[in-house]
Amino acid sequence: MSYRPEELLAVTLAKLIRAVPTRHIAVGAASPVPAAACWLAVKQGEPVRLSLLHKRTGNPFTEGTRELFDLTGQGRVDLFFLGGGQIDGQANLNLIGTGEWPGREVRFPGSFGSAFMYFMTGRTILFREEHSPRVLVDKVAHISAPGISEPGVYRRGHAQALVTGRCVFAFHPDRGRFSLASVHPGETVEGVREMTGFAFDVDGEVPQTPAPTEEELALLRGSVCDEMMETYPEFCSRVFDRKLAA
Amino acid sequence: MTPIDLEAMAASVPDGALIALPPDNSLPSVALAKALIRRGARDLRLVGVPVSGFATDILIGAGCVAAVQTSAVSLGEAGFAPRFTAALKAGKLSITDATCPAIHTMLQAAEKGVPFMPLRGIIGSDILANRPDWKVIQSPFDSGEKIVVLPALHPDIAVFHGVMADSHGNVYVGRRRECGTIAHASRRALVTVERVVEGNFLEDERLAPGTINATYISAFAVAERGARPAALLDDYGFDAAYVAAYARAGKTEAGFAEWCAEHVFEARAVAAE
């Protein structure tokens, strides 16, 4: 059965969500693929609470925008998604920009809550569709949020994985490095190495990322799309070919 | 408390003021931002609570802004904020980067009347390396933990758009209670509202939890569709097409000037006729 790249990514993220017991996931605004993955995990029967931060109606919070950070500080968010204009081999994230501080060459939007969320959620899945040496760099130009922390700094969690348009990397906070967990259909280990600016570990034979099953695709295109129409109409129209009724 | 005129409200904002603004998802007063452009405000210092959006970008484009403290500047799905990006590149704008919970924490310290508050995270981020006003201390309760302390942030003026004001000047913002925090933390709060209704929201158990007491409100002005293109709770939705058109126009200085002439100056002239 044919599928779109976004569908493969959503299915792959959903497997990472289900791999660890998860009670509560918060999803930021510009994250339609992670949002689809969360809804897929829910529709597959995972008993997880979703807080979708930019849901236009029924936003989960009543104490203003600070509530997300307060409850994350308390340890009530198990999983969050982050990306970055640059991500390096130590899982450092750069949402500031390149060139002299604060991004005099190319300015990215800014760090948002990353400098807090990355420390305080139970775990983080890094997601960046573009997999190129300009995004996956040896060392980020500026650190918005560090991948690992020195002793004496309170840190609840780290990156679980980095999912890109080409592969899945697992992150190992103990050694501060990624290892290649799987390559997407059509990609090779050598090809991934060529397109990655940082060094990573390869432990034995690297499997292929499993393609979506018919059941997974049916859920994505059906009940997952239903849930996402209001917040991500453009995404649903492009990926699932579903348009809002006029 | 009676409403004042929107242009008079803009006139009461001095050049150089430190102004706290919520972003596009939490009741920005785009109406007052446009009035500040019309009055030719200069050297404003904006604080994004906790990030910045459309109102900040148009104020920067119109040359009203000297400095921005924020955790991000973005037009959401319409992409990068064009005049912010251009001003930064041209070296015309001072940017102080923060991270969302740090902005909230600094305002909450001001709200509580304490000089500083601690916040976890941040250590190891270059944001901290560029913030001499943020300090790392050893926790007085756990000698094994290093923690960041942040100074209280007292904006001169809080600016936002409420749904409605009552006869007493109480302002209803529903669940967007960060507007309450910035009103509490700021020396003055200038608020635009869709409408004024009779009565007292604080005597209504359903409205009171989403109401900001008039104690914190310095003045309010009626500005219908005053958050537009941002959404206003369930009154009206986000106007994505308007923001996308702005993002295209704002790519060049000339495009912005044309946009500004039509949407900030002419629109007001037509409304006043």
Percent of the residues in chain B that have a pLDDT greater than 70, as a whole number: 99
Does any domain span residue A125?
yes
ipTM: 0.95
Confidence of residue A200 (pLDDT cuts 50, 70, 90): very high
The answer to whether residue A77 scores a pLDDT higher than 60 is yes
Do B39 and B131 reside in the same domain of the chain?
no
Q: Which residues touch A168 (CB under 8 Å, ≥6 apart)?
A: A12, A16, A161, A162, A180, A181, A182, A209
pLDDT of residue B268 exceeding 80: no
Our count of domains for chain A comes to 1
Contact A116 B73 (CB under 8 A): no
Do B77 and B140 share a domain, yes or no? no
CA-based max dimension of chain B: 67
- Average pLDDT over every residue of B174-196: 97
Percent of chain A predicted with pLDDT > 70: 97
A232: contact with B, CB 8 A cutoff: no
pLDDT tens readout for residues A160-178: 999 999 999 999 999 999 9
> Is residue B42 in a domain?
yes
Mean pLDDT, to the nearest integer, of B229-242?
Answer: 92
In this structure, the answer to whether residues B51 and B91 fall within a common structural domain is yes
Give percent above pLDDT 90 in chain B. 93
* Rounded-to-integer distance, Cα B176 and Cα A62, Å: 7
Contact call for B175 and A153, based on CB within 8 A:
no
Same domain, B128 and B157: no
DSSP state of B243: H
Residues B59 and B147 occupy one common structural domain: no
Instruction: Report pLDDT for A1.
Output: 78
Q: Which residue has better confidence, B266 or A41?
A: A41
Q: How confident is the model at residue B273 (pLDDT cuts 50, 70, 90)?
A: low
CA distance B88 to chain A (A): 7
CATH number at residue A55: 3.40.1080.10
Q: Which residues pair with A179 in a beta bridge?
A: A170, A201
Is residue A37 domain-resident? yes
Residue B258 domain boundaries: 6-99+153-272
Answer yes or no: is A181 within a domain.
yes
Q: Is residue A110 part of a domain?
A: yes
For chain B, the domain total comes to 2
Q: Count of A–B CB contacts within 8 Å?
A: 137
Q: What is the pLDDT of residue A9?
A: 98
The CATH number linked to B202 is 3.40.1080.10
pLDDT of residue B143: 92
Q: Which of A120, A144, A234 sits opposite B127 (nearest CB)?
A: A144
**Cα distance from N-terminal residue to C-terminal residue, chain A:** 30
Tell whether B140 and B213 lie within a shared domain: no
List the single residue in A63, A66, A142 with the smallest CB-CB distance to B126. Answer: A142
Is the residue at A178 inside a domain?
Answer: yes
Inform me whether the pLDDT recorded for A246 exceeds 60: no
> How far is B198 from chain A, CA to nearest CA, in Å?
26
Residue A244, pLDDT > 80, answer: no
Q: Which of A107, A115, A152 sits opposite B121 (nearest CB)?
A: A115
| Predicted pLDDT of residue B67 | 98
Q: If you average pLDDT over residues A67-77, what whole number do you get? A: 96
Whether chain B has a CB inside 8 Å of the CB on A200: the answer is no
**Claim to verify: residue B139 and residue B206 sit in the same structural domain:** no
* Whether B72 and A110 lie within 8 Å, measured CB to CB: yes
Closest CA of chain B from A16, distance in Å? 24
Q: Is residue B39 part of a domain?
A: yes
Among B77, B121, B145, beta carbon nearest to A120: B121
Q: State CA A97 to chain mean position distance.
A: 19
- Give the three-state DSSP class for B189: strand
For residue B263, which of B85, B30, B6 has the smallest C-alpha distance? B30
Given this model, what pLDDT does residue A245 score? 62
Identify which of A122, A150, A156, A69 has the alpha carbon closest to the alpha carbon of residue B144: A150
pLDDT computed for residue A14 by the predictor: 98
Same domain, B53 and B125: no
Rounded to a whole number of angstroms, the distance from the CA of B270 to the nearest CA of chain A is: 31
Mean pLDDT (whole number) for B159-165 = 98
Does A30 contact B76 at a Cβ distance shorter than 8 Å? yes
Q: Are residues B86 and B136 in the same domain?
A: no
Contacts of B125 in chain A (CB under 8 A): 111, 115, 143-146
Can you give the pLDDT at residue A31?
79
Cβ–Cβ contact A64 with B under 8 A: yes
- Asked if the structure places residue A200 within a domain, the reply is yes
Return phi, psi of residue B264, to 5°. Answer: -110, -45
Closest CA to A146 of A134, A135, A157: A157
Give tens-digit pLDDT for B65-120: 999 999 999 998 888 999 999 999 999 999 999 999 999 999 999 999 999 999 99
Within 8 A of B176 by CB-CB distance, chain A residues are 64
pLDDT band at A30 (very low <50, low <70, confident <90, very high): low
Is residue B1 in a domain?
no
Residue from A177, A242, A198, A206 nearest A4 by CA = A242
Asked if B134 and B233 sit in the same domain, the reply is no
Q: Do B4 and B222 form a contact (C-beta atoms < 8 A)?
A: no
User: Domain containing A93: what range?
Assistant: 5-239
Judge whether residue A64 has pLDDT over 90.
no
- Examine residue A244 and state whether it is found in any structural domain, yes or no: no
Q: What would the mean pLDDT of B167-171 be, rounded to a whole number? A: 97
> Are B43 and B80 part of one and the same domain?
yes
Mean pLDDT rounded to a whole number for chain A: 94
In a domain, residue B109? The reply is no
Cβ–Cβ under 8 Å, residues A102 and B95? yes
